[in-house]
């Protein structure tokens, strides 16, 4: 077969990369070319020189058609993630806008309702490790479509709540779980369609969905609230959330033939391919105990606990944990904080929209910069994390409309870049096969601490009448994420200093 390939291509260094399903994949001068076996054999049986030009022209077209098919699936996956981010930002920000009205009707304290809302984000995180095995079992497409229905049903049931408990249950069990499944599976599916370089651009474009959501939804939700009350607003927001089913419909698995393409191989995972110990019970072993042990072993393997041994994973997880605490606190308490210093709900919604415009620009420019390799992922992450911390630390001194809007723009832009860099670094450093499991466990670990985002600011406000101290504390928490990045940077610089 190798001699046949060399005869047809006229290249001595051409080598066979893969041959299956009637297709021969040839690597020639660093370029993969796909040929049909019938084309190659007809090539060497007669008039080789006269017919070679025609075959040479047709082969790239066949390669391009398949490449275009993969690109089309990648575009669909990008749109799916775009919709997921749009709806995710809508859910969180809508709850923040409706917080005051719901708190007044249920006659609950600020920290109680705030904690319930933060538990939605917390639940979305804690359910994370389940998303990867569920996606592998039933397929990402079907699971995400079901998740859209769960979000719609959750908002419908919440609109009928008569106390805080009835409000909390559908928010956590339906909306949070639906968001979790959609978030993890759409992001990991996007990584399967692109190499690292293209993934940076696709991820940046997809995250524009959250920016557009913050531009469009706050004024719209405020209009719903003023016109129909918080219950009617819940129903309308839920109807928008059901469009997540469209996101799932756009997800299609990567074709098997595309796995041979250079740049799309996943990093080797020895833990998945090593044989697992098989426990053979003797005749005195209880069958029930054996079945339970087998179930635990399968569950342990499906959840991929081996990630906890990775220092890179833990470094990225620390960034995710601190930034998600900041994100939840800002989404829940930004509008109440702005109202507390003298602005109206409408003005607060306008500030969020202004900030979202800046975030949109940041996502676009950041994705292009990574695609063009104008910056390293670690440098971009350090700058973004630092700016998130700064936006909280200076919060007590921003009181005018323009300063509050500018600080909001600084926060949402830098926070968005942090999460863009997280996706990029997970794919770059851990590999595409680990993406779903990594996203799930990062969410789980952040979910254990995330309730503090609703409790701390609400409790401090109830006792001091101000959010200033709470926001400064959040800024200090965010700074801790810089510690491992700075240590790694200093270790890399140490040999240079020594010389």
Distance from chain centroid for Cα 403: 30
319 shares its domain with 426: yes
What pTM was computed for the model?
A: 0.67
- Give ∠ CA 160-163-169 in degrees, rounded to 5: 70
Last residue of a domain, one of 65, 88, 115: 65
pLDDT of residue 239: 93
335 shares its domain with 366: yes
Given a contact cutoff of 8 angstroms between Cβ atoms, the answer to whether 32 and 25 are in contact is: yes
Q: What is the dihedral of CA 316, 317, 322, 325, to 10 degrees?
A: 130
Does residue 375 lie within any of the structural domains? Answer: yes
Distance from chain centroid for Cα 99: 26
Does residue 259 lie within any of the structural domains? Answer: no
DSSP single-letter state for residue 306:
G
- Domain extent, residue 36, equals 2-65
**What is the spatial order of strands in the sheet that 23-28 belongs to?**
15-20, 23-28, 31-36
59 shares its domain with 202: no
Does residue 127 lie within any of the structural domains? Answer: yes
For residues 258 and 273, what is the distance between their CA atoms, to the nearest angstrom?
22
Helix axes 140-159, 177-193, angle to 10 degrees: 150
> Taking 70 as the threshold, does the pLDDT of residue 340 lie above it?
yes
Helix axes 311-340, 468-479, angle to 10 degrees: 170
* Length of the chain counted residue by residue: 499
For residues 240 and 26, what is the distance between their CA atoms, to the nearest angstrom?
48
Tell which residue, 326, 316, 327, has the closest CA to residue 435. 316
**Weakest-pLDDT range from 239-253, 281-295, 309-323:** 281-295
> Taking 90 as the threshold, does the pLDDT of residue 192 lie above it?
no
Given a contact cutoff of 8 angstroms between Cβ atoms, the answer to whether 305 and 315 are in contact is: no
Phi, psi angles (nearest 5°) of residue 35: -125, 145
For residues 90 and 84, what is the distance between their CA atoms, to the nearest angstrom?
10
Confidence of residue 62 (pLDDT cuts 50, 70, 90): very low
53 shares its domain with 166: no
Does residue 278 lie within any of the structural domains? Answer: no
> Taking 50 as the threshold, does the pLDDT of residue 55 lie above it?
no
pLDDT of residue 188: 87
> Taking 90 as the threshold, does the pLDDT of residue 394 lie above it?
yes
């Amino acid at each position: 077969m190798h001699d046949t390939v060399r005869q047809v291509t006229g290249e001595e260094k051409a080598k066979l990369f893969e041959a299956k399903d009637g297709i021969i994949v040839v690597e020639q001068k660093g370029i993969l070319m796909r040929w049909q076996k019938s084309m190659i054999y007809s090539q060497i049986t007669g008039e080789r020189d006269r017919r070679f030009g025609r075959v040479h022209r047709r082969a790239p077209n066949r390669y391009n058609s398949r490449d275009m098919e993969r690109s089309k699936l990648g575009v669909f996956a990008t749109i799916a993630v775009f919709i997921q981010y749009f709806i995710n930002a809508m859910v969180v920000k809508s709850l923040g806008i409706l917080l005051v009205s719901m708190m007044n009707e249920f006659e609950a304290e600020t920290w109680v309702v705030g904690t319930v809302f933060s538990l939605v984000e917390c639940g979305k995180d804690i359910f994370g490790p389940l998303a990867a095995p569920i996606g592998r079992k039933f397929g990402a497409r079907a699971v995400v479509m079901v998740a859209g229905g769960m979000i719609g049903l959750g908002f419908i049931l919440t609109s009928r709540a008569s106390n805080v408990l009835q409000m909390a249950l559908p928010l956590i069990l339906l909306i949070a779980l639906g968001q979790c499944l959609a978030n993890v599976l759409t992001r990991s599916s996007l990584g399967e369609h692109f190499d690292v370089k293209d993934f940076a651009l696709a991820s940046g474009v997809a995250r524009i969905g959250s920016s557009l959501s913050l531009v469009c939804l706050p004024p719209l939700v405020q209009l719903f609230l003023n016109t129909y009350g918080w219950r009617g607003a819940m129903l309308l927001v839920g109807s928008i959330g059901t469009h997540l089913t469209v996101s799932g419909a756009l997800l299609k698995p990567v074709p098997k033939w595309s796995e041979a393409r250079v740049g799309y191989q996943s990093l080797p995972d020895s833990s998945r391919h090593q044989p697992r110990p098989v426990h053979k019970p003797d005749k005195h072993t209880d069958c029930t105990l054996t079945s339970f042990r087998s179930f635990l072993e399968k569950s342990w393997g499906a959840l991929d606990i081996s990630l906890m041994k990775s220092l890179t994973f833990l470094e990225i997880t620390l960034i995710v944990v601190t930034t998600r605490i900041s994100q939840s606190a800002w989404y829940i308490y930004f509008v109440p904080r702005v109202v507390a210093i003298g602005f109206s709900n409408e003005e607060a919604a306008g500030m969020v929209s202004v900030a979202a415009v800046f975030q949109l620009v940041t996502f676009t420019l950041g994705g292009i910069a990574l695609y063009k390799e104008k910056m390293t992922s670690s440098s971009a992450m350090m700058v973004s994390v630092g700016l998130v911390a700064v936006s909280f630390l200076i919060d007590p001194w921003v009181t005018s409309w323009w300063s509050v809007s500018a600080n909001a723009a600084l926060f949402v832009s830098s926070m968005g870049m942090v999460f863009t860099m997280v996706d990029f670094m997970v794919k770059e450093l851990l590999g595409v096969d680990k993406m779903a499991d990594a996203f799930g466990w990062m969410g789980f670990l952040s979910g254990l601490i995330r309730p503090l985002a609703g409790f701390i600011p609400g409790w401090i406000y109830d006792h001091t009448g101000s959010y200033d101290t709470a926001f400064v504390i959040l800024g200090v928490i965010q700074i801790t994420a810089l510690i491992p990045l700075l240590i790694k940077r200093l270790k890399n610089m140490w040999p240079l200093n020594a010389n």
